[in-house]
Amino acid sequence: MMKSLPNDDPRNFIQQAKVHCAYCNGGFPQKHPFQDQRIDVHRSWLFFPFHRFYIFFFERILGNLIGDPNFALPYWNWDSIQGMQIPSYFTTPNSSLYHKLRNYKHMPPHLVDLNYDILSPKIRTQDQQVSYNLAFMYKQMVLANTKELFMGSPYRLGDSAQPGPGSIEFAPHNTIHDWMGGVDTPNHEDMGTFYTAARDPIFYVHHSNSDRLWELWTKLEGGRRDYRDDPDWLDSEFFFYDENLNLVRVKVRDSLDTKLLGYVYEEVDLPWLNFAP
């Protein structure tokens, strides 16, 4: 339904992908007098809150179009053993979730390498890959026990873009983008590069899982701290279109409680939680 809306409707599927693109690759300058610096939500402490809002508005638009205000995006839990393949409803050619520009070598039953290295992919058996992935998740979630390690580096007005990614953003988030993207396209379009990534419907369930991991991390071992006492982070703002085609301004401080955004994540086993390497 989003794909068939007029091209200039902000709820149109490609327009939504462009909203993501607008916040990547330094597309816009920072405000005066810092216009020599660019705005980018990646590789910094803006990564988690920006993408939470992004999929929040996407979810509301979808829910509105199908007339179900309770609609919630599913998550692709690639951190569980059963989730380490691309979910089959994304790979069925006549599904609206199918997408052509992907790496055809990575279709099911191929397992994802959560720490995929696009320049030198590793060959592992299925069992080796599962153990590798679980130990890697342990490292990125449990061992990344400070806000700097997990959330990414502070990025304040006047700072250069992309000061440094957090553990999950760096991998598996980036690595799955690389692993999904096409092999015959110049920049691994669509998932493998920022400007086209959100044109692949799998982007949204990939991001709901990344968002879920942020939520899980804050609750690990009795609670871990993100930047929620830093006013520069809390007051960072983004613009999105809502389901009524209104341009709305949101602040990071309004992203912190998922219940206020209308969702909680279904709890499932976390096979990596006690999988110390």
177 binds ligand C2O (CB under 6 A): yes
Which of 11, 13, 42, 155 touches ligand C2O (CB under 6 A)?
42
Which of 55, 112, 134, 197 touches ligand C2O (CB under 6 A)?
197
Of these residues, 56, 58, 207, 240, which one is catalytic? Answer: 207
Q: 238 φ, ψ to 5°?
A: -135, 160
Of these residues, 13, 20, 56, 240, which one is catalytic? Answer: 20
Look up 206 and say whether it is catalytic.
no
202 binds ligand C2O (CB under 6 A): no
Q: For residues 237 and 161, is the Cβ–Cβ distance under 8 A?
A: no
Nearer to ligand C2O, 61 or 168 (CB): 168
Look up 106 and say whether it is catalytic.
no
Nearer to ligand C2O, 10 or 192 (CB): 192
- b/e map of 232-253 (b: 16 or more CB within 10 Å)? ebbebebebbbbeeeeeebebe
Look up 42 and say whether it is catalytic.
yes
Rounded Cα gap, residues 269 and 80, in angstroms: 8
Which of 52, 60, 173, 188 touches ligand C2O (CB under 6 A)?
173
Q: Cβ 66 to ligand C2O, closest distance in Å?
A: 24
Site for ligand C2O in 203-242 (CB under 6 A): 207
- b/e map of 104-129 (b: 16 or more CB within 10 Å)? eebeeebbbbbbbeeeeeeeeeeeeb
| Amino acid (1-letter code) at residue 220 | L
Nearer to ligand C2O, 200 or 226 (CB): 200
Number of residues that bind ligand C2O (CB under 6 A): 8
147 binds ligand C2O (CB under 6 A): no
Nearer to ligand C2O, 27 or 121 (CB): 27
Look up 173 and say whether it is catalytic.
yes
Which of 10, 12, 16, 20 touches ligand C2O (CB under 6 A)?
20
Residues designated as active site:
20, 42, 51, 173, 177, 194, 207
User: Which chain residues interact with ligand C2O by CB under 6 A?
Assistant: 20, 24, 42, 51, 173, 177, 197, 207
